[in-house]
Every structure is written in structure tokens, then in C-alpha cells.
């Protein structure tokens, strides 16, 4: 299995809602990542888990909360988001952690905050 899967594909939420994005990989990769991508912009790194430990948090607002239950799963919990948080949220994984790992991306979750 060489895929990174993400659910849901699309999510619409209000500013008072709580929701979660899920990511799964079965490639035995030991690093997993959350990125945010706005239209016509490059992906921006939000969080990195390496061996299930949070190793990088790019000063992301606390309304985004990552969780890595095990080496195959990565969640992103969302609470009290703002309309400017609307974006494509990408999960990626790599066999080696940064800066060397080749990252494989999931299809993304397109999030709209009303």
C-alpha cells in the first residue's frame, strides 16, 4: 500500500464547530506532516510528527490541535476556526524525518469555514 488517505475530502464548518481531519498511511513511514495550502500558494508546514512525537510546530494558532495516536494515524482537531482558515489541508508522510525524507502527500481535505 503506497497511499496516504485523508478523510473527509470536503468539510464545511461554522466558526463555533469542532471537527477533526484524519490521515492514515500504511507504508511504515515514521514521520507525518500537516500542511495548509491556499489557492495558488505553496504548501505551508504546520506540524511534524517524527516517531509519534511532535517535533515541529510552526507557531500555528491553538485552534488547530494535532494528534498522533500511532505511527499510522494523524489527526488534526479544529475548533473555533476563522473564515481565513479556509484552505486545502494536506497530510504527508515520509520514511525519514526532515530534512531528508521524501514526502508522499494525501489527496487533501478542502475546508471551508463559514
Ranges within 62-81 binding other proteins (CB under 8 A)? none
Binding mask 92-111 for other proteins (x = CB under 8 A): -----xxxxxxxxxxxx---
Torsion of CA 88, 72, 93, 99, to 10 degrees: 130
Using the minimum distance from each CB to other proteins, give the nearer residue, 15 or 51.
51
13 lies in the site for other proteins, by CB under 8 A: no
Residue whose C-alpha is closest to residue 33's, from 20, 23, 18, 21: 23
Binding site for other proteins (CB under 8 A): 41-45, 48, 55-56, 58, 88, 90, 97-108
Amino acid at each position: 500500500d503506497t497511499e496516504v488517505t485523508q478523510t473527509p475530502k470536503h468539510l464545511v464548518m461554522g466558526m463555533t464547530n469542532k471537527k477533526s481531519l484524519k490521515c492514515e498511511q500504511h507504508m511504515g513511514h515514521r514521520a507525518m506532516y500537516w500542511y495548509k495550502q491556499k489557492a495558488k500558494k505553496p504548501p505551508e508546514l504546520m506540524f511534524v510528527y517524527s516517531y509519534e512525537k511532535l517535533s515541529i510546530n510552526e507557531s500555528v494558532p491553538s485552534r488547530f490541535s494535532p494528534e498522533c495516536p500511532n505511527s499510522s494515524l494523524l489527526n488534526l482537531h479544529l475548533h473555533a476556526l476563522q473564515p481565513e482558515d479556509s484552505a486545502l489541508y494536506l497530510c504527508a508522510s515520509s520514511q525519514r524525518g526532515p530534512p531528508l525524507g521524501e514526502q508522499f502527500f494525501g489527496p487533501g481535505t478542502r475546508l471551508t469555514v463559514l
